[in-house]
Amino acid sequence: MKIPFFKNTVTNYFSMFVRLVQGILVTRWLISHLGEAQYGLWVMLWSFFSYALLLDLGFGVAAQKVTATQLYKKDIEKYNHTVSSIFLSHVSLALLILPLTFVGMYYIRELFHLPADATPEYIYFCREALLLSGLAATIVFPLGVFPEILVGLQKLYVRNYIIIISKLFELAGVICIFALGWGLFKLLFFVMLVMGATQLAMLVSVWKSIPGFRIRLAFDKEVFKSIFHFSSAVYIISIGRMAWERGMFLLISIFCGLAPVGVFQLGSRIPFLIQQIALPYVENISPISALLHSRKRSMHLAQILLRSIRWVNFFAAGATVMVMIYAPRIILLLFNIDNSEAAFICRLMVLFVYFLLVCRIIPEKFLTMAEEHKFLAKVQSFESIFFIVISIIGLLLKPHELIVVWAMILTKLIGTIIFVLPHLIKRTNIKIRNFILYSLFEPALLALSTGMICYWQYYFLRGQIHEFFLLALAGISGVLIYFPALYYMMFDHAEKLRSKRLINKVTGKLRRA
């Protein structure tokens, strides 16, 4: 099976760019046309919609895995029964959203912290908006299985095309709604309608991609049991990850106050942005791991994992070095704040995120799809409990936001170095020497050499030119070093030939023009 790795990755990044731009524009227009109060209501409604996704219980990843193993080619009836059981499980879980919505409508004053002088009309409006959001979540939630199936089919690009078209259509619709002077309720109805149509489009794509695919209105208990063992472990992993991602802010808020939360948020935004930028590439690993593991092609899989870690390291190391050098200037330019503590947290967190990207995220995705989900669930549970315990102990002794950061770093170092990486090496027979030299050392060495040049620029030019031009100069220097290195260090022979043909094709068109 030919894996469209390049197409998947490029469309992932393009989709992320479209969603980012669309989100910024829509947010600006929402605040401008609706005002802060109704914009706050909009945010709250989407927050509740997001929390409804927690009901997934890992079934989406299970659908992705069973598709990636190409069961639909071996036994289409068994595949249909499996996906149908997952879909009906989603339907039953979605029905829980409605009673929760009705409870929320009853306690709407407390839930949205409405003022005492809120009119009955406004309270009724908030209840209607919450009801519409709940109904939409109930309908759309079960359809969330189909984007996961497209990922399992290695057709991330199809999913991305649908999302891009959907977001552009949504953007045009928002413009029309505001031009016509319509309000929040009609806007909410339109956006929910577009979301439902998007999921249905993915269902149609799945239907076309898998001959004989059908959703059976029958629940298979035995199939469900086998799925649940996997999905429950995946769910524990996701909840454990959420515990430290959200828990950091909560612990800092409880023990240190709101001001340190703001400092931590300021320092961690850039590192977490780097992580988000790397994830569209990493998303390819899960379906590939499931497919090659099912075919017992461990040697091929080991090569892909080593190369994937090397690619992520190549970009992550360069970004990390740049942030380590320019953290105060980046924060000053982006947020117009000069805060040494935020800069220190930024540097510390970017090292932490770099470690996660290179040593944890890809191994975790492989082990999840290689029947090691129970092992990962145990590791994640241990990490979550250990992180919370040592954070609380440390904060009781000295309430400072850095206690939480160091606790998180220590926890992930122990979990990754002692448990996850040794298990990865054991399962794939990766040679430690190749892993250290090929995947870790060479890309990091290039980043360090680039960093020396950028640091020299920073040392001599800081205070002499504006932060924007200083960062622009550093970016240009990095690109001039990294792009040639990308060609000579990262491309194999076939990729170099394709690059030469592409360059010759482009230059030929330019000459003819």
pLDDT of the chain, 513 residues: tens digit per residue: 566 777 888 888 888 888 878 877 887 787 777 776 777 777 777 767 766 666 777 888 888 888 888 888 888 888 888 888 888 888 888 888 888 888 888 888 877 777 777 788 888 888 888 888 888 888 888 888 899 999 888 898 999 999 999 999 999 998 998 888 888 788 888 988 998 899 999 999 999 999 989 888 777 777 777 787 888 888 888 888 877 777 787 788 788 876 788 788 788 888 888 888 888 778 888 888 888 888 888 788 888 888 889 888 988 888 898 889 888 888 887 777 888 898 999 999 999 999 999 999 999 988 888 888 889 999 999 999 999 999 999 999 998 889 999 999 999 999 999 999 999 998 888 888 888 988 888 888 888 888 888 888 777 777 777 777 877 887 788 778 777 777 777 776 666 777 777 677 767 766 665
- Looking at the structure, tell me whether residues 204 and 299 fall in a common domain: no
Token digits of residue 243? 């515990």
The answer as to whether 471 is a domain residue is: yes
* pTM for the whole structure: 0.80
Is there a single domain that holds both residue 204 and residue 278? no
80, part of any domain: yes
Residues 330 and 454 in one domain: yes
Pair (229, 211) in one structural domain: no
**209, 224: one domain:** no
Does some domain include residue 507?
A: no
**CA–CA distance, 43 with 418 (Å, rounded to integer):** 41
C-beta atoms surrounding 320 within 10 Å: 25
Taking the mean position of all CA atoms in its chain, how far away is CA 153?
A: 19
Domain boundary among 217, 243, 266: 217
What is the predicted pLDDT for the residue at 506? 65
In 453-463, which positions are buried (b, 16+ CB within 10 angstroms) versus exposed (e)? ebbebbeeeee
Alpha carbon distance 248, 406 (integer Å): 11
Same domain, yes or no, for 479 and 428? yes
**CA–CA gap between residue 90 and residue 84 (Å, rounded):** 10
Does residue 506 lie in a domain region?
no
Do 222 and 81 contact (CB within 8 A), yes or no?
no
Structural domain harbouring 40:
1-217
Residue 221 contacts by C-beta under 8 Å, 6 or more apart in sequence? none
Same domain as 436, residue 387: yes
| Together in a domain, 111 and 253 | no
∠ Cα 249 252 255 (to 5°) = 145
| Residue where one domain finishes, among candidates 177, 195, 217 | 217
Q: Alpha-carbon distance 129 to 363, whole Å?
A: 42
Q: Judge if 53 and 145 occupy the same domain.
A: yes
What is the predicted pLDDT for the residue at 173? 92
Question: How high is the pLDDT of residue 53?
Answer: 67
Does residue 208 share a domain with residue 84? yes
In this prediction, residue 285 carries a pLDDT of 86
Residue 513 in domain? no
**Residue type, position 113, single letter:** H
Residues 359 and 486 in one domain: yes
**pLDDT at site 396:** 93
Give the pLDDT confidence score for residue 510 in this predicted structure.
62
* Domain-located, residue 511: no
User: Is residue 503 assigned to a domain?
Assistant: no
What's the total number of domains in the chain? 2
Domain boundary among 217, 240, 275: 217
342, 331 Cβ separation under 8 angstroms: yes
**Same domain as 58, residue 25:** yes
Q: At a CB cut-off of 8 Å and minimum separation 6, what does 408 contact?
A: 244, 248, 352, 387, 391
Residue 132 lies in a domain: yes
